[in-house]
Structure 1
Amino acid sequence: MKTFSIIFLFLGLSVSAQVKTLPLWPEDKIPNHQQSTEKEEINDDDVVWISKVQKPTLEVYLPVKQSATGQAVLICPGGGYAGLAYDWEGTQIAKFLNSKGIAAGVLKYRLPLSASIKESFKAPLQDAQRGIRLLRANASAWHIDKNKVGVMGFSAGGHLASTLGTHFQEAMYSGIDITDSEEMRPDFMVLIYPVISMDSAITHQGSHDNLLGKNPSAALEEQFSNELQVTKNTPETFILHAGDDGAVPVENSLRMYAALQKNGIKTEMHIYPEGEHGFALANGKYYLENWSTRLIDWLKNLK
């Protein structure tokens, strides 16, 4: 009898996690798309690295109903706008959030250098705007509170997340269905070693060039320097960076924090002296790995 009970419990746990992958767009209605012979590429040598994204998706991870907090997070993996560190800064983050009762959607967004895109810099934001709308459109079925849906991004994904959080006044595409009646503004932002600015003095040059091109106009650089786009309606924000980050200077986060403070936006920021770049959950990195605990504490105390 005990054996059967254990088996039943195991089976119950194995089916409790809910994961589903949705296309962001109907196949024939992807905005800013053009036909090409380009193929999506996936390399999983060390991390799952996806490039040349052709069909953007939202991979949704739902906690069991009994533990759901109502919060949901749109996760934007990094990769310098050249690729996506899809598991390292995506699916493993979603699983961690699930363990805390938080729903998560990992955004497989189009990359600006793809031959299948007409206007490079628009595509990632178009996909992010659609992604957060999908979370809200399915809020009832997924036990999500529409007023507790935020965005989280790592590195260049942090730039995309902060773009979503500062450029929500106008959609980057024309609405195609009922999903596009949902709100685009995130209720909160989580920015992890983020690229924020396109200022050549502090930007990550690869992200800059991949998103805007090597010789963009000053107006375009200003438009996507998100510390310059903060207003009093920007969402509450959590920022994390390492002081010794040699890829994305910590000045990106410091400028964003200053802009948020200037506009009266509640912000929590943690600058660790060591950690370098791309540490994700930082498992095994001594006290740095506790940053995720700080995040959960912050999320629990959001109003």
Structure 2
Amino acid sequence: MKTYTLLATLLIFIGMKAQTDKTIEIWNDEIPNSQKSNSEEKWDQSEWGTLWVTHVQKPTIEVFLPTPRTATGTGVLICPGGGYAGLAYDWEGTDIAKWLNSKGIAAFVLKYRLPSDASVKTTYKAPLQDAQRAMRYIKSNKDQFHLKDGQIGVMGFSAGGHVASTLGTLYNKEVYTPKDSIDNISAKPDFLALIYPVISMQQGVTHQGSKDQLLGKNPSKIVTDEFSNELNVNTETSPTFLIHSTDDGAVPVQNSLRFYQALIANKVPAAMHIFPTGGHGYGLGLENKATQQWTSLFETWITELYQ
């Protein structure tokens, strides 16, 4: 009898996991802005010991839901970084999702297409297309994910911060032809959390590697300005949380500073924390006394936003 009960409990648990934590392809059939190629998606262990994804062929969201007892109704679309050349999928994706779950927040890790892959036609459209579609998908299934209206935001790290801030400022830009009823939903995130983000494509401020991957070696001024997200902030931009380090040698702190200044100029609620040290790419920040504070700072901010 005990064996039967244990087996039944296990099957129920497995069934619950199948309904919650799963990977979902965000495009049902044809992926916009794509073409046939010999490119193959790769999952490798990077030299830094992180899971490194390249040549993304099928954009997905991996779903992580907190237990119903702790769920707050808030959801976050997570955009891992990687300089638009790859995705630090666990370091700035699934690890973040598990931490958010511990705070009662649902998380959705976006595996977005990388702009320079041979399967992509127009480089700079692909990440925004995937981010818009992912946000619309999450909103369209908010009841299934136990999310509340007005509490579904985006979080991005490094180049993923550029994806997130692009979604946050160009959410209503038509970058693909609507495919189904999901695309009738606004792609606007209800809040932005940008962690050591690439914001600008302007010379001397941008992360050059991200810019080269996204826009190419010699982009026009029009395209450069269009994807310099500090120039796209307006009064409709959602509340924003920013983290950066003064000694970031990869993505200059001016990226966050410029975005913050634009938010303030447009009277958008914003919080920014700049640490004196920490460098770049620290994920949850556990290896540095300064940067390990950012998660508790975010928790306080998001709690106050929806209290």
- TM-score class, shorter: over 0.9
Is 1:175 the equivalent of 2:152? no
Which moves more between the two structures, 162-171 or 227-236?
Answer: 162-171
Structure 1 position 183, deviation (Å): 1.5
Q: Judging changes above 3 Å, is the alpha-carbon distance between structure 1 residues 14 and 88 closer, same or farther for their aligned structure 2 residues?
A: farther
Q: Which residue of 2 aligns with 1:187?
A: 190
SS at match of 1:215: coil
Is 1:62 the equivalent of 2:65? yes
Q: Which residue of 2 aligns with 1:288?
A: 291
Unpaired segments ≥5 residues, structure 1: none
Unpaired segments ≥5 residues, structure 2: none
Output one character per residue of 1:79-115: Cα deviation in whole Å (capped at 9) or x when no partner. Answer: 0000000000000000000111100100000000110
Aligned partners of 2:237 and 2:267: how far apart in 1?
A: 9
Is 1:51 the equivalent of 2:45? no
Q: Which residue of 1 aligns with 2:23?
A: 21
1:144-293 pair list within 5 angstroms: 144-293=147-296
Aligned partners of 1:146 and 1:214: how far apart in 2?
A: 41
Output one character per residue of 1:183-217: Cα deviation in whole Å (capped at 9) or x when no partner. Answer: 10000000000000001111100000000001000
| Alignment check: 8 A CA contact 2:172 2:186 kept | no
Which moves more between the two structures, 144-153 or 78-87?
Answer: 144-153
| Alignment check: 8 A CA contact 1:110 1:124 kept | yes
Is 1:33 the equivalent of 2:12? no
RMSD between aligned alpha carbons? 1.9
SS at match of 2:256: helix
How high is the sequence identity, in percent, across the aligned residues? Answer: 52
Q: What amino acid is the match of 2:21?
A: V
| Alignment check: 8 A CA contact 2:275 2:290 kept | no
Is 1:75 the equivalent of 2:78? yes
Aligned partners of 1:112 and 1:238: how far apart in 2?
A: 26
Q: Judging changes above 3 Å, is the alpha-carbon distance between structure 1 residues 13 and 243 closer, same or farther for their aligned structure 2 residues?
A: farther
Q: What amino acid is the match of 1:238?
A: F
Q: Which runs of 4+ in 1 moved over 4 A?
A: 10-17
Q: What amino acid is the match of 1:20?
A: K
Aligned partners of 1:218 and 1:261: how far apart in 2?
A: 25
Q: What amino acid is the match of 1:168?
A: Y
Q: How many aligned positions are there?
A: 298
| Alignment check: 8 A CA contact 1:77 1:157 kept | yes
| Alignment check: 8 A CA contact 2:278 2:290 kept | no
Aligned partners of 1:207 and 1:285: how far apart in 2?
A: 25
Aligned partners of 1:87 and 1:229: how far apart in 2?
A: 30
Aligned partners of 2:143 and 2:135: how far apart in 1?
A: 14
| Alignment check: 8 A CA contact 1:153 1:190 kept | yes
Which of the residues 124, 129, 133 maps onto 1:121? 124
